[in-house]
Every structure is written in structure tokens, then in C-alpha cells.
A and B are shown apart, each in its own frame.
Chain A
């Protein structure tokens, strides 16, 4: 090959790199290992992790562990999907395109909105993009969010808001019920607000019961209503499109994707089919069309002029590589569960949380939930009366092989020594009984 090219050595192919910056030594990296060595080495390193399959864990907060059916995993590993690029050539990529169209369609049913994009990175970045979209559509610069929101999501939103100079303002909540303060929303809406964001279920697991009233107020003020969801909850709960959401974002990871230390996730992004909205949407959209002769149905990318590779600095977003394979897994998952299956998972999640709250609340010194409202599968647990910090409680639990809830005091000092716990269908009654028994020992043991 060198002879064909007409050079004497490989180095002759790098003569265009100025002498001064050529790397004249080997990279300071380990020497190559065999496949077997890599496997041994990495398995040993990773064995220092303790997976939640080997302990009892009650962690949620935006990354949720659910059962992934074996066939979903097997299909997700099919290398035709795994090793393909963005489907720029629709004729050889119908498999990916149709699967993504089915993902868009199934999530559309779940949220009851017509348009869903082919994925964003995660919930947090999807929220950031939603805020920017609201600002583009309304030409306004304020975006309202609940005070009780995951710190990671809020920080990400704040970064996204910097570019166009959006002001992110918080809405307070009722100390007894956790519900968003409607009068605050109404007052804030007067100040030229682009969008209002509500999470349902909320970060602390309770449901917002006044979403319809909020939607009305938001629309009356000419702003857009954005709702954040855990899609599993929609097996049971009212769809945001049914109570006035213009845009829905959420974390699609629980739909057939592993937790993997928080990534890759699946940013859900949906909106109403009004073209004023769709044209401002970020990300890739797959559309249904026909062959040029009209004879056969097929799928291809649609409305691509919104995207960076065509509109450059005028694009609705810079996103290019997204999280398609996670969306594909979500499609497999939703198709496999169907309406009844998803409802059953959602029921199990909620029933377990409800059982856990009842059990734990009976323990002297513990209070759960701290808000008087219906909950889905996450709930707050306060241990102020034990005179123990939530971290202390957690470390005692961990010594007994249980991963407790996410401490909330750092972000929300007004909540005191409170943690956020989560149950899914993976938890059995025995798991929850064991948690209750262990907590009782810890709390009782202190006194």
C-alpha cells in the first residue's frame, strides 16, 4: 500500500505535522493487554463496586432500577442496531428508523402528546432545552421551576439558561402538603414568563393535585406549561397531555435501560403538534413517508432544517449524537409490557411505597411522608426525632447491608433530617419488612 501511495514509510504520511509538535515518544499509557487480561483486570477493579443487586437499596431520585426482561436486553444487543450510525441513509436504515418511530409513537401515547423526538441525553438536559424552547416561542426570558427539584436538574437548567440570559425563578410550596403555591405562580406569571415547569410526581415523590389549575393559569398568561415525568408512573397516572401540558420532558431510563451509575440515560422530549411548537423543538424527529413512487410506506428523518448540521448557529439546539439506543430499548420495553403490563409495574411501585410508608411511619422517631399528599413510588423520611442525622442513619443502615435514601438537608435545609427513598416492583414485601425491622433496631438501639 505504501508503494501504491508512493511513500517509503508510514512516517512520510505525517510530514505535514510541524516537526516541533510531533510526538517523539510513545504515549505514557499501559502496554496492550490481551482480551483475557483486560477482562480479569477490569472485573477485579469493578468488583470494588457493590451493585444494588447484592444489597438492599432504596435509591431513586431520577435513576430507578426496574426489571429488564431478558428478551429486551437481548434485542438491545443486536449488533445491527448497536453498530449503526445516525440513520442518514434511510434506505439501509429502515430498522433503526422504524424502531425510533415506534418509540416516538409509544411515548406519545404515554404522555398523550403527538410529537416526541428521538431522544435527548437525559432528563436534566431535556429540561434545559425545554426552557430554551419556551423562550424562543414566547420571546420572553423568565422560566419558573418548583423549589423542590433535584439539585442536578436545577444546576443543569441554570447552565442552559446562561446562553440566552434566561432568569430561572423558584415557586414555593405548601409546608403541609408539598403542593406548589398557586398564588405564587399567578403572581410570578405577571412578570413576562416564558414557561412554567412542574414535576409530577414531584422530586419528593408526591403528586401535584392542582395541575389543571396551574395549566389554566399558565396559558392565560400566554406562557407554556412544561411537565417533567417518570414515565413508569404513567402506567397509572393521568397523562400530562390530558391536563394541558405543552411540553413534556422526563427520564426514560427506567424503560428498559440499566441504571449504570447514572448514564447513559434517556431524555424524553415531547410537545403538542402545533407547528409553532414543533418547528422550535430540539433534536431529531423521525417521520413516516412513502417511497418516491408512493408505493410503499417508509421512515426517514423529518424537519431536519431545525438541526445544527443545516441551520448551524440558527439551529434549535446543538444536539447531534443523542441517546438513540436507549430509546430503542424503551421501545422494546413498552411494546413488551403493553398497557396492562405497564399498569401492573406502576401499581406494584406505588403499592410498595405505600406499604413502606405505613410500616416506617409506625416506627417511633420516624416520620414518612413529610407531606400530606398522595405519593407514587418515592417518599420522604424524616428522622429529626431520633436526634440522628440522616447521613448517620444511612451509614448505620449500610453497615447492615441496606442503602438508605438520598439525604436532602444540604439542598433543602428547611426539611430537616430527611431522606428520599424509592421502591419499585423489584422490592418484595420482605425487603420492606426487613428495612422496617432494621430501622427499628437502629432507632431503638440509640435510645
Chain B
């Protein structure tokens, strides 16, 4: 579990890079899903909202597909999508092999970073959370 990242209950991670936030799915998520065959990316420029209890379209950043399941990627933060990882179109398996690095999904310019970070977990809290799921 990489330190210094923030995590959601839906198994997305956030890494702060200057005034941008890099987003991906966790190792736990990719393991549950199995071999990823396709990643659906959102459009650059899309305005997204931080994931809340009542899930909605405007909280979606795309989807990750294995042969037998589809998992929606929810936005851990509100803001605008600045860039998506185009390499995933050709090599979706990066989600499996390198979930925290090469398998990143998109860059977001956060709108309300400070307030929203409170809703995310740090590595320790996420590890605890995963234990609860076993």
C-alpha cells in the first residue's frame, strides 16, 4: 500500500502532484477484477464531482472491464479532467501489472481539494478498511 496517497472506499487512489491530482484504481481493485481487457476513459475537460453516497453519472471517470465484470471508476475529487492515460487503450493490462504507476487513469484539476481530502483515507486507514472487507 503506497504511503502518501489518498484512498476511497470504492478503491480508487489519488496522488497529489502540484496543483493536479493523479487518479487510479488500487491493487485490491485490480485483483478483484482479474485480467483487465478494456479501459473506458472519460473525455478530457469533463467536470466531475467527488463520489458521494448517492452515486451519479457526474461522479464517473470511466470504467475498467475484465472479461466477466465491469467496474465503474468514480472520481475521488471534484474538478475537471485534464488528461487521461491514452496508453491504456493499447495496453489495458497495465492496470493489473502497475496499478499505482503506469496504470494511472487520469489527471484531475481539483476544485475543492482541501475540503474534500477529509473524505478520503490515508494508506493506514485504507489498509484497515480492506481488513474489514475480508
Contact = CB atoms under 8 A, between A and B. Distances in A.
**Do A and B interact directly, with beta carbons closer than 8 Å?**
yes
Contacts of B66: 305
A314 B71 CA distance: 12
A311 B67 CA distance: 11
Given A305-B66, A310-B70, 14 more contacts: A279-B38, A304-B67, A304-B68, A305-B37, A305-B38, A305-B65, A305-B67, A305-B68, A305-B69, A305-B70, A310-B68, A310-B69, A311-B70, A314-B70
Interface in B34-54: 37-38
Contacts of A304: 67-68
B23 to A, nearest CB: 21
A279 B40 CA distance: 10
Nearest to A302: B67
Contacts of B65: 305
Interface in A161-193: none
A310 B69 CA distance: 6
A224 to B, nearest CB: 19
Query: Which 8 pairs show the lowest CB-CB distances between chains A and B?
Result: A305-B65, A305-B70, A311-B70, A310-B70, A310-B68, A310-B69, A304-B67, A305-B67
Interface residues of B, number: 8
Interface string A244-284: 00000000000000000000000000000000000100000
Contacts, number: 16
A304 to B, nearest CB: 6
Contacts of A311: 70
- Main secondary structure on A side of the interface with B: helix
Interface of A: 279, 304-305, 310-311, 314
A317 to B, nearest CB: 15
Contacts of A305: 37-38, 65-70
16 contacts: A279-B38, A304-B67, A304-B68, A305-B37, A305-B38, A305-B65, A305-B66, A305-B67, A305-B68, A305-B69, A305-B70, A310-B68, A310-B69, A310-B70, A311-B70, A314-B70
A310 B65 CA distance: 10
A43 B31 CA distance: 59
A169 to B, nearest CB: 28
B13 to A, nearest CB: 23
A288 to B, nearest CB: 15
Interface string B60-81: 0000011111100000000000
Contacts of A314: 70
Contacts of B68: 304-305, 310
A279 B70 CA distance: 13
A183 B80 CA distance: 42
